[in-house]
Structure 1
C-alpha cells in the first residue's frame, strides 16, 4: 500500500507538471519548431545525466532494430509536440489539451489497422461517445478559421502520439528512460532545419522557459511517470492521468483568462468517461496491467499511459 501511495503521488505530480507545459511554451515567446528543438536539447541533457547517474547504460538492451524503432517513435513524438504547440497558438491551451486527449481512441483504431487487433462492440460504443464529446468540445462554427485550425493541429498531434505508442510497444527489454533519451536525441537533427536560431538568440527571459521545458517537463516529469507506472495498477493510472487536462484548463484560466464555454464543457466528461471505459475494456480483453518492471516503452507502453505531452 505504501508503494502505491508513493506511486500515486509521483504520477499526480507528473501530470500536474504536464498541465503547466502550455504556459512554458507560450511564455517562451518562441515558435513551435524552435520550442521543440530546445526541449529536445535540454531534455536529452536531463535524461542522459539521469540515466548515466543510475547506471542505465550498462546492459542497456538496445539493438539496431530497437534503436530504429525508438528513432521512428521519436520522429512521431517530436512532430506531435510541434503540432500540439501550434494548436496552443491557434486556439487556447484548454481547447487544445482536451482535443489532444482523444489519443486513446486513435490508439484503438491504429491497433485495429496496424496490429489487426479486434475492436469489440463496447469499444465502438465508447468511441462513439468520445466523438460526441469531441463535437461538443470543439464548438467550431463555419468560418471559425482559428478554431478549425487548432482542432486540426490537436487531432493531428493525437494521431502522431498514438503512432509513437504503437511503435514503442514493440520495444521490450529496454528501460523507458533510454528510449525517451533516444527519441529526444533524434529530435535534435530532425528539427534543426526548422528551428529559428536567430529568433532564439533574442529571447532573453524566454530561455528560462525553454530550459524548464527540457529539464522539468521532459527530464523530471518522465522520471516521475516511469517510477509511478512501476508501482500502480492500470485503473489507477487511467484516473490519475486526467490530472493533466484538469490542471491545464485551470492554469489556462488563471494565467490567461481562457476557458471553454458551457456547451463545450458538456463534452469534457464524455471524453473522460469514454477514455476510462475504453481503457477498462482494453484491460479486460488482454490489455494487461500497467508495466511493473519499469522496462517498457517510453511514453507508456500500456494503453492508459498515453496522456502526457
Structure 2
C-alpha cells in the first residue's frame, strides 16, 4: 500500500507538471518547431544524465530492431508535439488539451485497422459518446477558421501520439527511460532543418522556459511517470491521467483568462467518461460453478505509454 501511495504521488506530480507545459510553450515565445527542437535537446541531456547516473546504459537490451522501432516512435512523438503546440497557438491551451485527449479512441481504431482487432459494440458506443463530446467541445461555427484549424491540429497530434504508442509498445525488454531518450535524440536531427536559430538567439528570457520544457517537462516528468507506472494498476493510472487536462484548463484560465464556454463544457465529461471506459481494463465475467482461480484476460500493462496520455 505504501508503494502504491508513493506511485500515486509521483504520477500526480507528473500530471501537474504536464498540465503546465502549455504555459512554458507560450511564454517561451518560440515557434513550435523551435520549441520542440530545444525540448528534445535539453530533454536528451536530462534523460541521458539520469540514465548514466543509474548505470542503465549497460545491459540496455536494445537490438537493431528495437532501436529502429523506438526511433520510428520518436518520429511520431516529435511531430505530435509540433502539432499540439501549433494547436495552442491556433486556439487555446484548454481547447487543444481536451481535444488531444481523444488519443485512446484513435488507439482503438488503429488496432482495428492495423491488427484487425475486434471492436466490441460497447466500445463503438463509447466512441460515439466521445465523438458527441468532441462536437460539443469544438464549438466550431461557420467561418470560425481558428477553432477549425486548432481542432485539426490537436486531432493530428492525437493520431500521431496513438501511432507512437502502437510502435513503442512493441519495444519490449528495454527500460522506458532509454526508449524516451532514443525518441528525443531522434528529434534533434529531424527538426534541425526547421529550427530558426536567428529567432532563437533573440528569445532572451524565453530560454529559461525552453530549458524548463526539456529539464522539467521531459526529464523530471518522465522519470516520475515511469517510476509511478511500476507501482500502480492501469485503472488508477487512467484516472490520475485526467489531472493533466484539469490542471491545463485551470492554468490557461489563471494565466491567460482562456476558458471553454458553457456548451463546450458539456462535452468535457463525455470525453472523460468515454476515455475511461475505453482505457480501463474490463472485469472478467463471473462463471457459474467454475472451480479454481480465475485470471483477468485484460491484465493491465502498467508501463504502457498510452495509460497517461501525457504530452
Q: TM-score, normalised by structure 1?
A: 0.95
CA displacement at 1:171 relative to structure 2: 0.8
C-alpha offsets along residues 68-89 of structure 1, whole Å, 9 cap, x if unaligned? 0000000000000000000000
Distance 1:108 1:282, change over 3 A: farther
Deviation, 1:115, is: 1.8
What's 1:9 paired with? Answer: 9
C-alpha displacement at 1:280, in angstroms?
Answer: 2.4
Give CA deviations for 1:20-43 in whole Å, capped at 9, x if unaligned: 000000000000000000000000
Q: What residue is the counterpart of 2:291 in the other structure?
A: none
Name the counterpart of 1:84. 84
Does the 8 Å CA contact 2:73/2:163 hold for their aligned counterparts? yes
2:17/2:221 contact within 8 Å kept: yes
SS of the residue 1:203 aligns to = coil
Q: Deviations over 1:85-144 (max 9, x none)?
A: 000000000000000000000011001111221111111110000000000000000110
The Cα of 1:281 is off from its aligned counterpart by 4.9
Asked if residue 171 in structure 1 is aligned to residue 174 in structure 2, the reply is no
- Counterpart check, 1:137 vs 2:137: yes
The whole-number CA distance in structure 2 between the counterparts of 1:34 and 1:48 is: 21
3-state SS of paired residue (2:259)? coil
Question: Who wins on radius of gyration, i.e. which is larger?
Answer: 2
Separation in 1, partners of 2:115, 2:190: 27
Distance 2:297 2:48 in 1: 34
Q: CA RMSD in A?
A: 1.2
The structural deviation recorded for 1:288 is: 2.4
Matched residue SS, 1:192: helix
- Return the offset for 1:290: 3.2
Distance 2:211 2:40 in 1: 10
Would the alpha carbon gap of residues 174 and 136 (structure 1) be closer, same or farther in structure 2, given more than 3 Å must change? same
Q: May I ask how many residue pairs the two structures share in their alignment?
A: 300
**Deviates most, 110-119 or 262-271:** 110-119
Residue 289 (structure 1) shift: 1.2
Helix, strand or coil at the partner of 2:226: helix
Consecutive unaligned residues in structure 1, runs of 5 or more: none
Deviations 1:252-299, CA, capped at 9 Å, x for gaps: 0000000000000000000000000111256768442133xxxx5xxx
Q: Distance in 1 between matches of 2:240 and 2:32?
A: 28
Q: 1:304 aligns with which of 299, 302, 307?
A: 307
Q: Distance in 1 between matches of 2:151 and 2:298?
A: 29
* Cα distance in 2 for residues equivalent to 1:255 and 1:279: 31
TM-score by length of 2: 0.94
Question: Aligned in 2, Cα 1:157/1:286: closer, same or farther, shift over 3 Å?
Answer: farther
Deviation at 1:304, TM superposition (A): 2.2
Match in the other structure for 1:113: 113
Post-superposition, which runs of at least 4 consecutive aligned residues in structure 1 deviate over 3 A?
Answer: 281-287
Q: Secondary structure at the match of 2:307?
A: coil
Give yes or no for the alignment of 1:290 onto 2:301.
yes
Closer, same or farther: CA 196–286 of 1 in aligned 2, 3 Å:
farther
Is contact 1:122–1:281 with CA below 8 Å preserved after alignment?
Answer: no
